[in-house]
A and B are shown apart, each in its own frame.
Chain A
Amino acid sequence: MEPFTTHAGSVGALDRANVDTDQIIPKQFLKRIERTGFGQFLFFDWRFLPDGSPDPAFELNRPEAAGATILVARRNFGCGSSREHAPWALADYGFRAVIAPTFADIFFNNCFQNGMVPVRLSEEDVAELFRRAASRAAAGNPYRLEVDLTACTVRDDDGFLKSFEVDPFRRRCLLEGLDDIGLTLAHVDAIAAWEAAHELPALAE
């Protein structure tokens, strides 16, 4: 996994709550058997008009969101389906971090498996990010943030500086780009001991 230490980039401001994984990557794109190539389908039904051209009204199609690598959204981001295709699509599109007041549990876990940081900030702080992004956009500029996982902070160049919390183990895995399965297999003796001590469910016929 690609390590994540600190990342600076411009913001894609998606001012919506309860963005579900069906929107992040609609079901017609779940049939691929690879992990890659999903970015082109990200937010497909919102991003594209019926004729296939980009919808200029969609937040990520606006000029200031071009090349965005940090997504900011409202509450309960990533709710619904467990599809890891959602973080795959976000990462493949170029996002390295998602900032929201709250995340759905499965999506939140899935991010860490893909070198992407889900950052929880307070509702007020996220509202402030939207305000700042909107005022930069009004001036025709992108809004840039830095997400620092070593210090667990989010900052801009104009005095916004907030810290966030992240599980220490998940943080270490991201910082060092560790392979979860490899780490677990270091405990293979404990797994075998558990199996030996328990009556395992009846074997398949």
Chain B
Amino acid sequence: MPETLYQKLEKDVRYIEGLKACFNCGICTAICPAAEVSDYDPRVVVDTVQKRDESELEKLLKSDTIWMCGECLSCKTRCPRGNTPGYIIQALRALSIETGLFIESQQGRKQLAIKRTVGDHILKYGYCVYIDEVDTEMYPEQGPVWDWLRQNRESMLERLGTSYNKEQSGTLRNISQESLNDLKKIFDETGGTQRFEKIEKYSSVKAKELNIDFKDGKDNYFKYLYNE
């Protein structure tokens, strides 16, 4: 018998720690920044998963709902029963990617764009974000000071005493190939690489279904996900 979705979910330590028993008081929703700006209700998410209905869980994994949380974890502080809706969301997101169900929702599909920015930066540079990759076309809120700094980064970053482009300790140093190799091997050993591959594989199927050009990097599918 193949494992049910619940059997998979219940192996996740984030799920085990996140869900005790919810009595639907709604404090998590009251404090939630996502609930304030979108149609998101952590109380309903927790109540849905604690009902242990396989088809309801599958619906959740295919929905936009699980991608609305901002992981501020304000809910952890406030829950009077020791639940952490933000941890439950982490486990649901992991399972949604694992099963490929993330491509069934508009928000879930966007994981590819995050994988191709933050994810790829980690393995290429050793940083989650890196100045060479952050321009005001993709990040217009960075503003004119950032544009100026970025255009003059060789000069300004030296003036500010950083180690940009240098093989030494310090701010924005080049991370050595040996350290990058360590990161890659850790990703290979712990499922990070497999998760990246799953995000790419399932996304290619969806892009084909939507008839949008899918290659790599900032292709048309990436732009569609990132911007719209």
A binds B: no
